[in-house]
Amino acid sequence: MTTFLMFYQEIGPGLTALVILTFLLAGAVKGTIGLGLPTVAMGLLGLAMPPAQAAALLIVPSTLTNLWQLASGGHLLVLMRRLGGLLLMIFVGTLLGSAWLGIDNGPWASHALGGALLVYALLGLLGRGLQVPAAGEKWLGPLCGLLTGVVTAATGVFVLPAVPYLQGLGLGRDELIQALGLSFTVSTLALAVGLAGQGALGGQALGASLLALAPAVLGMLAGQWLRGRISALLFRRCFFVGLALLGCHLLLNG
């Protein structure tokens, strides 16, 4: 238990409170719209700690909440066959990106994170989705997977360009939510391997990440309750505006 608490003892009560509130909020966003936990967590924690440290914290909450999301829907085998190239190249791209770039403690990593958040927010606010032709899936899926892996390795954010690609496949609502869970699960596991290879995911970091699971799950349950009580469109707009502001801050100030 001491190993689990050591990280929080070292960062102090102020940053510990930030971690708890961040995962409550990130879980609530994911529970409401089906994505956003790593994006919100990396954005907020990136204000106060190096991206590599923030990425290590999200490994356990992201993995387990994505598996939760992945387990529902009944389309798993069909999606795994259809998205096999995307998923394989996400894993490969993340490992290659970790070896080539990696999330280090330098200021460029925070700037890269801010840029990724800002691009994703602007795409969400513009609402211009990608339309993927059936004939293009065989080459576009692996390409998007490779690019997503490199972005994941550099920033800890899993969404670009995988999320716009998945949204452009014309999947039903349940299929899309399950496909997002599948993509994010692969991205998280690949990121964990990459962080471990950089020495950023030891026992202390995993213990701290495990303790962050509780607020993430509570937030996700709250988000699922909230989903049927507010306008999904309004919530998404507020989410993307906040993400854009956060991205601008990180991009400019690092």
Q: How far apart are CA 194 and CA 50, in angstroms?
A: 16
The mean pLDDT of the chain is 85
Domain boundaries, the chain: 2-253
* Total count of residues recorded for the chain: 254
The gap from C-alpha 212 to its chain's centroid, in whole angstroms, comes to: 15
CA distance 118 to 245: 8
pLDDT < 50: residue spans in the chain: none
Q: Residues 71-128: pLDDT tens digits? A: 776 788 899 999 999 999 999 999 998 888 766 656 677 777 788 878 888 888 887 6
CA torsion 222-236-183-45 (nearest 10°) is -70
pLDDT at 210: 92
What sign results for the dihedral spanned by CA atoms 22, 164, 166, 177?
positive
Q: What is the pLDDT of residue 1?
A: 54
What is the structure's pLDDT at 102?
65
- Other Cβ atoms less than 10 A from the Cβ of 136: the count is 12
pLDDT of residue 81: 93
Q: Please tell me the predicted confidence (pLDDT) of residue 149.
A: 93
Q: What single DSSP character describes residue 135?
A: G
Contact 113, 157 (CB under 8 A): yes
Longest dimension (CA), the chain: 54
